[in-house]
């Protein structure tokens, strides 16, 4: 009787174990597909960019000149514009997005939480080309007639930072592109941060309020430290989107292959340069240089995400996790 029961138990366990192995194989295959796609993208970009690196070497990364007529190309100006516009966007979007998330989770009246949350999620779903068209026809003229002249007349004369706000008020430029990017990633950061803040146990908040803490102290010392690793991850994902944004930036940055100390001046980014010029590439070296720009952006995004993982591990190590 005991032998029969043991045999029937094994028979029931075998299908479950087999299903578990199949599930493991499927999930492993999905993970390997992602790695294979990333490796394939890297290999194809490297293969296409090889003529440019063979011709220019590492000077391609530190050369500003971009002249299709003479087949002289350098990635420094697009790389500089990509970094500057992304930094401007994150400096504006991160504090504002966190403030919106804290308001929605801590101080917003309940009747307004759902409508405001839906509005933020809808903003995150607007296509980038809509932001670009609005930026070119509405926001850029406003920048040219109101914002940039005011910045030039005030901050343009401040020692040290005056050069950042010097020049003519073109309307378009790196500052305008950075502001458009900030508007695009702001709903993403706010929505993600709101969901992260909602994961904080209510017991932690109630205990802090019971000790006499104010709302600012609760958010500063309890809520944000509890979810800081998730917040850093969300901010880095938003930075990745800002680095690779194409159409919205193309409309408002000016598409000039030059480096300027002023953030009001026109510039370009890697994605904008590729979008503008890929169909106009008439020589193999021109095409290879544009593909090399794509490879540089790929590596830059990889470095940013790797730094994010390193930061998260350090924060977890300090927290004793």
Task: State pLDDT tens for residues 90-132.
Answer: 999 999 999 999 998 888 888 888 888 888 888 888 888 899 9
Residue-range definition of the domain harbouring residue 90: 59-318
Residue 44 lies in a domain: no
The partner residues of 267 in beta bridges, in order of sequence, read 254
Residue 28 lies in a domain: no
Residue 36 lies in a domain: no
The CB-side HSE value for 222 (13 A sphere, CA atoms) comes to: 24
Residue 33 lies in a domain: no
Residue 50 lies in a domain: no
Task: State pLDDT tens for residues 233-288.
Answer: 888 888 888 888 888 899 999 888 889 889 999 999 999 999 888 888 888 999 99
pTM of the model: 0.86
Tokens of 15: 């299908």
Instruction: Specify the higher pLDDT residue, 229 or 171.
Output: 171
**CB under 8 Å to 6, separation ≥6 — which residues?**
none
Angle at 120 between CA 115 and CA 124, to 5 degrees: 145
Round to whole Å and give the CA distance between 95 and 190: 10
The partner residues of 254 in beta bridges, in order of sequence, read 267
* CATH number for 231: 1.10.3720.10
Number of domains into which the chain is organized: 1
Residue 218 lies in a domain: yes
Cα 237 vs. chain centroid, distance in angstroms?
5
Helix (H) or strand (E) holding 6: helix 2-56
- 277 vs 21, 72, 269, 270, 309, CA distance in Å? 49, 14, 12, 11, 34
Task: State pLDDT tens for residues 12-65.
Answer: 557 778 888 899 999 999 999 999 999 999 999 999 999 999 999 889 999 888
Tokens of 145: 């007639």
Round to whole Å and give the CA distance between 224 and 235: 13
Collapsing DSSP to helix, strand or coil, 67 comes out as: strand
């Amino acid at each position: 009787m005991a032998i029969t029961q043991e045999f029937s138990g094994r028979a029931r366990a075998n299908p479950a174990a087999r299903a578990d192995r199949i599930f493991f194989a499927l999930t492993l295959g999905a993970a390997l597909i992602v790695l294979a796609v990333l490796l394939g993208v890297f290999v194809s970009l490297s293969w296409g960019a090889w003529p440019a690196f063979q011709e220019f070497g590492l000077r391609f990364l530190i050369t500003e000149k971009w002249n299709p007529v003479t087949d002289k190309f350098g990635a420094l100006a697009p790389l500089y514009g990509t970094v500057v516009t992304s930094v401007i966007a994150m400096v504006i979007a991160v504090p504002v997005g966190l403030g919106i998330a804290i308001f929605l989770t801590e101080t917003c009246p309940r009747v307004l939480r759902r409508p405001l949350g839906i509005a933020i999620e809808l903003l995150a779903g607007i296509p980038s080309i809509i932001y670009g068209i609005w930026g070119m026809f509405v926001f850029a003229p406003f920048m040219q007639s109101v914002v940039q002249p005011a910045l030039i007349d005030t901050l343009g004369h401040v020692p040290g930072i005056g050069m950042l706000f010097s020049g003519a008020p073109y309307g378009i430029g790196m500052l305008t592109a950075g502001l458009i990017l900030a508007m695009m990633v702001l709903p993403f950061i706010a929505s993600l941060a709101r969901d992260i803040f909602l994961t904080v146990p209510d017991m932690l908040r109630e205990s802090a309020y019971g000790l006499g803490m104010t709302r600012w102290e609760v958010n500063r010392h309890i809520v944000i430290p509890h979810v800081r690793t998730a917040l850093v991850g969300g901010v880095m994902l938003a930075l990745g989107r800002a680095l690779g944004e194409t159409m919205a930036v193309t409309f408002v940055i000016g598409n000039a292959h030059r480096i300027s100390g002023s953030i009001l001046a026109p510039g370009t980014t890697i994605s904008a340069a590729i979008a503008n010029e890929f169909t106009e590439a008439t020589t193999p070296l021109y095409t290879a240089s544009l593909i090399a720009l794509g490879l540089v952006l790929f590596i830059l995004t990889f470095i940013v995400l790797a730094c994010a993982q390193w930061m998260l591990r350090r924060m977890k190590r300090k927290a004793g996790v």
